[in-house]
Amino acid sequence: VCNRCSWELAALTSARNYLDHTHGIKIKAQQPQVVIKGQAKLKQILRRQGEKQQAQANERERKILRNAINMKVFKESLLQLIV
């Protein structure tokens, strides 16, 4: 409901457009809290997923490096260095 005239409409976008074009009143549209909270939650989920993937990649790399070392040869080499 417009206080300056008899215009009535329930849709916020239409009301903003009406006030702007008819009365020169500009109202900045804001995102609903549910959208803002949803975007924040999505960012948090994506960040956690990225951290989890990085941890898995690090573990795979450690496993590859452990398997690349021949422990028998490594221990023999250590013994030769000590003796």
pTM across the whole model: 0.49
25 and 36 together in one domain: no
pLDDT at 72 over 70: yes
Is the pLDDT at 6 greater than 60, yes or no? yes
Angstrom distance (rounded) from CA 70 to CA 79: 14
Range of the domain at 6: 1-30
Q: What is the mean pLDDT of residues 51-70?
A: 93
Q: Identify the residue whose tokens are 């500009």.
A: 26
Overall number of domains in the chain:
2
Query: Tens of pLDDT along 36-50?
Result: 999 999 999 999 999
- What is residue 3's predicted lDDT score, i.e. its pLDDT? 72
* Same domain (yes/no): 26, 61: no
